[in-house]
């Protein structure tokens, strides 16, 4: 047996791991030190058919299991996540490269969605109204069937957890196609679901790359598709699924702007801006990527530079997902330097002692950037902050408004009027005031605008319930008298 075969983690279908003979094998490397962490098979058409059939079979019973019973599984699963949070954070750390505390934070955020989904019976309660004498109108929500979620590398637990609890809580059965770069956490979640008593076949994991995603999207047994990943892939998934008449929501990439005005609190702002840009090594769709300093912000940039220089790579700041991604990020820094931009904090050629084969880029700040520079326009997806100076808030808003993405935008100010003006005019789905990563906490929903999202609605919150269910409207008349009105 080769080393790869020894480390094989199978597809998770019907509560068991499957590693069908003859399927391509995808190696999984730990970004921390470049070592081989595991391997997964890439699902063939036959495996895809098998997984969909298992989920279809499970749907027959799960879809008619009373919702109060379904959420009991979610309660037990939450308990298991909490009990196993150290092990799970460690697994995320090893397969994604982020720090253990960042791994822990993403489980905690996933648990928030789980808590939201555990309250589905309460949320479904008041959907009936007597609309005229003796006549009731009622909403009834039904699950769709077997549904699919395709997820990116940067949050191996949290992004899948945006969809799994709500989709299965609503009575669907679920196929997850995790990123081939971080496929291990999703199988571990499956084992914990089994332990929590989730019936066999309700949650399944199929490994693979783009080809497996596309086979699943096209599969006639898949009723709805949720996608999170880069904008090019999101657009392609959206078009493919919509052309087949399927329900689809596809979240894409981002380029988030932080705007600092002169009255901002210097210390709080400097710390917060750096945390936003460098957390998760900049590999999050809500990370700050462009900093716009408006007017005379005094020593703000110096403070930010000092904060960034104090970050210890390897302990405060995790690894980059792959050598390819590291090269791509460093390419942006090199080209900016070649164009004459100052790089007062330069994360190129960073190594961590004892982990020399790991993939690291240190905190990076590129100063004196103009709005049309590639580092101000492209999603770099690394710990790189590009700084633009402007004279007025309106100029800052114009730059933010003109970027094609629309996940997040934040302002740092001590003026309520400035904050309100910015919140009203920022062209993004999630806006922060003195918060650099304005991820709404449940029950507020998550979702961007423009090229950061294809399809309608947000991925969590009430929109999640709407996405994963179909609505029936039932009008009933029970009346002892033969009264008549326009709708009798
Ligand atoms: P990616 O687009 O390369 O891959 C995402 C997933 O889609 C993976 O499972 C991959 O196997 C699959 N895939 C890739 N190309 C596909 C295609 N053409 N058709 C179908 N499936 C395809 O993204 P990534 O590099 O894993 O993740 C990083 C990206 O995800 C960044 O752009 C980031 O901004 C984005 N992201 C967005 C959000 C959000 O909420 N908007 C959240 C997290 C990450």
DSSP 135: E
Q: Calculate what percentage of the chain has a pLDDT beyond 90.
A: 95
Task: State the pLDDT at residue 484.
Answer: 65
Q: Does 328 lie in the same domain as 236?
A: no
CB 261 within 8 A of CB 412: yes
* Chain segment 422-454, per-residue pLDDT in tens: 999 999 999 999 999 999 999 999 999 999 999
- Give the other-Cβ count within 10 Å of 473's Cβ: 9
- Residue 152 CB–ligand 1 contact under 6 Å: yes
- The b-or-e profile of 37-75 (16+ CB within 10 A means b, else e) is bbbbbbbbeebbebbbebbeebbeebbeeebeebbebbe
Query: What phi and psi, each to the nearest 5 degrees, are found at residue 112?
Result: -60, -40
Please provide the DSSP assignment of 193-249 as one string: HHHTTPPTTSEEE---SHHHHHHHHH-TTEEEEEEES-HHHHHHHHHHHHHTT-EEE
- Residue 236 CB–ligand 1 contact under 6 Å: yes
Rounded to whole angstroms, the Cα distance separating 322 from 68 reads 43
Tokens at 174, concatenated:
């679920």
Q: Does 218 lie in the same domain as 78?
A: yes
Lowest-confidence pick of 115-129, 305-319, 449-463 = 115-129
Number of domains within the chain: 2
Residue 140 lies in a domain: yes
Q: Does 260 lie in the same domain as 246?
A: no
Q: What is the CATH number of the domain that holds 417?
A: 3.40.309.10
Residue 88 lies in a domain: yes
How many angstroms separate the alpha carbon of residue 151 from the centre of ligand 1? 6
Rounded to whole angstroms, the Cα distance separating 116 from 111 reads 9
Q: Does 177 lie in the same domain as 34?
A: yes
* Locus of tokens 């089994």: 194
* Chain segment 61-115, per-residue pLDDT in tens: 999 999 999 999 999 999 999 999 999 999 999 999 999 999 999 999 999 999 9
State the angle between helix axes of 416-425 and 393-402 in degrees (0 to 180), rounded to the nearest 10.
30
Please provide the DSSP assignment of 349-409 as one string: T---TT-TTS-----EEE-S--TTSHHHHS---SSEEEEEEESSHHHHHHHHHHSS--SEE
How many angstroms separate the alpha carbon of residue 341 from the centre of ligand 1? 30
**Residue 257 DSSP SS3:** strand
Asked if pLDDT for residue 487 goes beyond 70, the answer is no
Mean pLDDT of 225-236: 98
* Ligand 1, pocket-test mutation among 233, 240, 279, most atoms within 8 A of CB: 233
- Residue 201 CB–ligand 1 contact under 6 Å: no
Beta bridge partners of 38: 28
How many angstroms separate the alpha carbon of residue 179 from the centre of ligand 1? 8
The residue whose CA has the least distance to atom 34 of ligand 1 is: 253
CA dist 112 → 63, 70, 172, 230, 441 (Å): 23, 17, 20, 24, 8
DSSP 450: G
Rounded to whole angstroms, the Cα distance separating 84 from 370 reads 47
Q: Does 242 lie in the same domain as 262?
A: no
Query: What phi and psi, each to the nearest 5 degrees, are found at residue 469?
Result: -135, 160
Q: What is the CATH number of the domain that holds 164?
A: 3.40.605.10
The residue whose CA has the least distance to atom 14 of ligand 1 is: 210
- Residue 251 CB–ligand 1 contact under 6 Å: yes
- Residue 458 CB–ligand 1 contact under 6 Å: no
Q: Does 159 lie in the same domain as 131?
A: yes
Taking all residues of the chain, what is their mean pLDDT, rounded to a whole number? 96
The residue whose CA has the least distance to atom 11 of ligand 1 is: 209
Residue 439 lies in a domain: no
* Chain segment 103-152, per-residue pLDDT in tens: 999 999 999 999 999 999 998 876 789 999 999 999 999 999 999 999 99
* Ligand 1, pocket-test mutation among 24, 106, 230, 243, most atoms within 8 A of CB: 230
Q: Helix/strand/coil (H, E, C) string of 395-433?
A: HHHHHHHHCCCCCEEEEECCCHHHHHHHHHHCCCCEEEE
CB 41 within 8 A of CB 11: yes
Task: State the pLDDT at residue 480.
Answer: 75
- Residue 159 CB–ligand 1 contact under 6 Å: yes
The DSSP element (H or E) to which 5 belongs, if any, is helix 3-6
The DSSP element (H or E) to which 466 belongs, if any, is helix 461-467
Residue 276 lies in a domain: yes
Asked if pLDDT for residue 5 goes beyond 80, the answer is no
Q: In which band, very low, low, confident or very high, does the pLDDT at 488 lie, cut at 50, 70 and 90?
A: low
- Residue 154 CB–ligand 1 contact under 6 Å: yes
Integer-rounded Cα radius of gyration of the chain: 24
How many angstroms separate the alpha carbon of residue 288 from the centre of ligand 1? 18
How many angstroms separate the alpha carbon of residue 233 from the centre of ligand 1? 6
Q: Calculate what percentage of the chain has a pLDDT beyond 70.
A: 97
Q: Does 464 lie in the same domain as 346?
A: no
Assessment of whether the complete model's pTM goes beyond 0.95: yes
Q: Which residues are catalytic?
A: 285
* Chain segment 287-299, per-residue pLDDT in tens: 999 999 999 999 9
Residue 245 lies in a domain: yes
* Locus of tokens 């996540």: 81
Task: State the pLDDT at residue 127.
Answer: 79
**Residue 471 DSSP SS3:** strand
Length of the chain: 488
- Residue 179 CB–ligand 1 contact under 6 Å: yes
Task: State the pLDDT at residue 479.
Answer: 79
* Chain segment 348-398, per-residue pLDDT in tens: 999 999 999 999 999 999 999 999 999 999 999 999 999 999 999 999 999
How many angstroms separate the alpha carbon of residue 216 from the centre of ligand 1? 16
Domain-ending residue, one of 433, 461, 483: 433
Q: Provide the pairing of β-strand 408-412 with 256-260.
A: parallel
- Residue 180 CB–ligand 1 contact under 6 Å: yes
Q: Does 37 lie in the same domain as 183?
A: yes
* Ligand 1, pocket-test mutation among 26, 152, 251, 429, most atoms within 8 A of CB: 152
- Residue 451 CB–ligand 1 contact under 6 Å: no
Residue 251's contacts (CB-CB under 8 Å, 6 or more residues apart) are: 227, 228, 229, 234, 285, 447, 448, 452, 453, 454, 459
Residue 275 lies in a domain: yes
User: Counting Cβ atoms within 10 Å, is residue 81 exposed (0-12), middle (13-18) or buried (19+)?
Assistant: buried
Ligand 1 atom closest to residue 181's alpha carbon, by position in its atom list = 26
* Locus of tokens 């740092």: 412
How many angstroms separate the alpha carbon of residue 261 from the centre of ligand 1? 34
Residue 484 lies in a domain: no
Task: State the pLDDT at residue 120.
Answer: 96
- Residue 253 CB–ligand 1 contact under 6 Å: yes
Task: State the pLDDT at residue 166.
Answer: 98
How many angstroms separate the alpha carbon of residue 230 from the centre of ligand 1? 4
The residue whose CA has the least distance to atom 38 of ligand 1 is: 285
* Locus of tokens 């030190």: 33
Q: Does 457 lie in the same domain as 427?
A: no
**Residue 259 DSSP SS3:** strand
Asked if pLDDT for residue 485 goes beyond 70, the answer is no
Rounded to whole angstroms, the Cα distance separating 479 from 485 reads 13
Q: In which band, very low, low, confident or very high, does the pLDDT at 4 lie, cut at 50, 70 and 90?
A: low
Task: State the pLDDT at residue 3.
Answer: 61
Task: State the pLDDT at residue 183.
Answer: 98
- The residue range of the domain holding 28 is 3-253+448-472
- Residue 209 CB–ligand 1 contact under 6 Å: yes
Residue 403 lies in a domain: yes
How many angstroms separate the alpha carbon of residue 413 from the centre of ligand 1? 33
State the angle between helix axes of 67-83 and 100-118 in degrees (0 to 180), rounded to the nearest 10.
160
Mean pLDDT of 191-215: 98
Asked if pLDDT for residue 400 goes beyond 80, the answer is yes
Q: Does 105 lie in the same domain as 37?
A: yes
Task: State the pLDDT at residue 1.
Answer: 59
Rounded to whole angstroms, the Cα distance separating 328 from 97 reads 17
- Residue 378 CB–ligand 1 contact under 6 Å: no
Q: Does 145 lie in the same domain as 237?
A: yes
Q: Does 355 lie in the same domain as 288?
A: yes
Asked if pLDDT for residue 481 goes beyond 80, the answer is no
- Give the other-Cβ count within 10 Å of 118's Cβ: 20
User: Counting Cβ atoms within 10 Å, is residue 392 exposed (0-12), middle (13-18) or buried (19+)?
Assistant: exposed
CB 98 within 8 A of CB 185: no
């Amino acid at each position: 047996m080769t080393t790869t075969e020894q480390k094989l983690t199978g597809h998770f279908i019907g509560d068991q791991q499957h590693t069908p003979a003859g399927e391509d094998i995808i190696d999984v490397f730990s970004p921390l030190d470049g070592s081989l962490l595991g391997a997964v098979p890439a699902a063939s058409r036959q495996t895809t058919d098998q997984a969909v059939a298992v989920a279809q079979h499970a749907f027959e019973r799960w879809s008619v299991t009373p919702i109060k019973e379904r959420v009991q599984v979610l309660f037990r699963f939450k308990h298991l996540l909490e009990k196993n949070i150290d092990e799970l954070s460690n697994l995320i750390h090893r397969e994604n490269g982020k720090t253990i505390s960042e791994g822990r934070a993403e489980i905690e955020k996933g648990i928030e969605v789980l808590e939201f989904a555990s309250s589905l019976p309460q949320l479904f309660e008041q959907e009936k109204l007597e609309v005229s004498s003796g006549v009731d109108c009622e909403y009834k929500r039904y699950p769709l069937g077997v549904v699919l979620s395709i997820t990116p590398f940067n949050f191996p637990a949290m992004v899948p957890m945006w969809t799994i609890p709500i989709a299965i809580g609503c009575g669907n059965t679920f196929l997850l196609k995790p990123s081939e770069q971080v496929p291990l956490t999703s199988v571990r979640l499956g084992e914990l679901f089994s332990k929590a008593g989730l019936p066999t076949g309700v949650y399944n994991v199929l490994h693979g790359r783009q080809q497996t995603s596309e086979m699943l999207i096209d599969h006639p047994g898949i009723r709805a598709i949720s996608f999170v990943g880069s904008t090019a892939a999101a657009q392609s998934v959206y078009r493919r699924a919509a052309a087949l008449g399927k329900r689809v929501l596809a979240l894409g990439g981002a380029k988030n702007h932080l705007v600092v005005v002169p009255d901002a609190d210097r210390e709080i702002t400097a710390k917060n801006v750096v945390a936003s840009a460098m957390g998760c090594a900049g590999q999050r769709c809500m990370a700050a990527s462009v900093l716009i300093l408006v007017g005379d912000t005094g020593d703000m940039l110096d403070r930010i530079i000092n904060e960034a220089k104090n970050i210890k790579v390897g302990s405060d700041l995790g690894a980059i997902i792959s050598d390819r991604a590291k090269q791509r990020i460093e390419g942006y820094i090199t080209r900016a330097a070649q164009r004459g931009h100052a790089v007062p904090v330069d994360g190129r050629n960073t190594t961590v002692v004892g982990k020399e084969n790991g993939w690291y880029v240190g905190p990076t700040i590129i100063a004196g950037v103009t709005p049309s520079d590639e580092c101000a326009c492209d999603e770099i997806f690394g710990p790189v902050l590009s700084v633009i100076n402007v004279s007025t808030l309106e100029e800052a808003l114009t730059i933010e408004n003109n970027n094609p993405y629309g996940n997040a935008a934040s302002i740092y100010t001590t003026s309520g009027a400035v904050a309100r003006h910015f919140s009203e005019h920022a062209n993004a789905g999630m806006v922060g005031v003195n918060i650099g990563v304005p991820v709404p906490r449940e029950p507020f929903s998550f979702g961007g605008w423009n090229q950061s999202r294809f399809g309608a609605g947000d991925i969590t919150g009430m929109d999640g319930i709407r996405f994963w269910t179909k609505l029936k409207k039932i009008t009933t008349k029970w009346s002892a008298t033969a009264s008549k009105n326009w709708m009798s």
